[in-house]
Amino acid sequence: MKSLKAQNSFLVDAHRQIEIIEHGQIGEFALVPFQQKLEQSNLFPLKPSGIEIFQVNIGKMCNQTCRHCHVDASPDRKEIMTRKTMQECIEVLKNNSSLRTVDITGGAPEMNPNFGWFVEEIAKLNRKIIVRCNLTIILANKKYNDLPEFYKEHNIEVVSSLPFYSQDRTDRQRGSGVFEYSIKALQLLNNVGYGKEGTGRIVNLVYNPAGAFLPPSQQALEKEYKQALNQRFGIEFNNLFVITNMPINRYLDYLLSSGNYESYMEKLVNAYNPAAAINVMCRNTISVGWNGYLYDCDFNQMLELKVACNSNHISNFNTNDLNKREIIIGQHCYGCTAGSGSSCGGAVA
């Protein structure tokens, strides 16, 4: 499977994606505008509550090509963050102590040749570091085999996708063989203490629905995951984050090609939860793109919707300016406010 970009899909044009998300494929699909829902919840315009999480997408290159990927990441994607831009990120962190957490994502962030250097530099600044590791990268090549030790050494919190505790659903979404390698990788993480009680080493798993539906209860599913993974493979982990799929890039492509787009969007809108809207992650997170531009979240980043203020690049990062901005919203935002809500840290309500 190739990325949408390599296939020259019409969805490569972010403006076209936004048109579809807002009005459907032929422009006649209308649901309650997200803005209207926020107005009813007294949340419009949506404003930051204070940026604490600095999420950096260091590249779209990945060893996997998952069917639901909102990044359209793949081995054929070459966009990766340069060391110069990373250095600018480090400077921003040095000058802004309020940015307590650095959340490194991709693609497979480990495939960026400067990943190790970047993590080591951030670790010197005494910040909480999260790496979104797809698990299989640990076994993809010999040079990545020591990642569990590297994570441990730098006290990194690992967040890893495992769409289900069975092979069938996981491989359907993430590719053939992914489940088997993910299990092996989790066992390697467990071997160095990750997920084990009392070690302080955290590995959290992420569930994404493998289809056109919303996630079930996070609490109930976490219990099932823990039981199944422990009984079958002796695996331990800390928390399960349940994340709603976003109608962006490859998941949008799936929804359109399977005829599920309209019913999925209706599900999202009907499940709008004001309590989740209060806690949307864009209120305390800033998202940095591989080329240094700033976005309200990783989803707006993929839709190329830069933050609506002058400080829209890492080279002119200004916390005051960013904290005063209005967050850009659209119909895709329903993905974060449906049901118990969804964020990079799972449910929010």
Binding site for another protein (CB under 8 A): 164, 166, 168-169, 209, 211, 213-217, 220-221, 224
123 vs 228, which CB is nearer to another protein?
Answer: 228
Among all chains, which residue has been given the structure tokens 């422009």?
A: 27
Decide whether 53 or 246 has the Cβ nearer to another protein.
246
Comparison of 153 and 168: residue with beta carbon closer to another protein: 168
Cβ of 35: how many Cβ atoms within 10 Å? 16
Between CA 63 and CA 77 the distance in angstroms is: 10
Residue with structure tokens 């919203």? 329
- Tell me which amino acid residue 32 is: V
Strand 240-242, strand 203-207: pairing: parallel
Tokens of 84: 């110069």
Degrees to nearest 5, angle at CA 66 with 239 and 227: 30
Which residues have CB under 8 Å from 272's CB, separation 6+? 37, 334, 337, 338
**Residue with tokens 């250097």, as numbered in its chain:** 117
Residue 339 CB, nearest approach to another protein (Å): 11
| Residue with tokens 């864009």, as numbered in its chain | 282
In the complex, minimum distance from the CB of residue 164 to another protein, in angstroms, rounded to a whole number: 7
Residue 123 or 212: which CB sits closer to another protein? 212
Least Å distance between CB 71 and another protein? 24
Q: Which residue number, 115 or 164, has a Cβ lying nearer to another protein?
A: 164
Least Å from the CB of residue 113 to another protein: 39
Taking the complex as a whole, how short is the minimal distance between the CB of residue 213 and another protein, in angstroms?
Answer: 5
Tokens of residue 324, six digits: 């005063």
Going by the DSSP 8-state scheme, the letter that residue 144 receives in this structure is G
In the complex, minimum distance from the CB of residue 319 to another protein, in angstroms, rounded to a whole number: 40
Nearer to another protein by Cβ, of 4 and 214: the residue is: 214
What are the φ and ψ backbone dihedral angles of 293, each rounded to 5 degrees?
Answer: -75, 155
- The answer to whether the CB of 75 falls within 8 A of the CB of 62 is yes
**What does the DSSP assignment read for 156-195?**
PEEEEE---SSHHHHHHHH-TTHHHHHHHHHHHHHHTTTT
Q: Which residue has the tokens 């996981």?
A: 170
Closest CA to 288 of 107, 57, 100, 125: 57
CB 267 within 8 A of CB 185: no
Least CB distance to another protein at residue 258 (A): 14
The residue (of 145 and 227) whose beta carbon lies closer to another protein is: 227
CB of 186 to another protein, least distance (A): 19
- H or E element in which residue 295 lies: strand 294-295
In the complex with another protein, the residue whose CB is nearer, 216 or 330, is 216
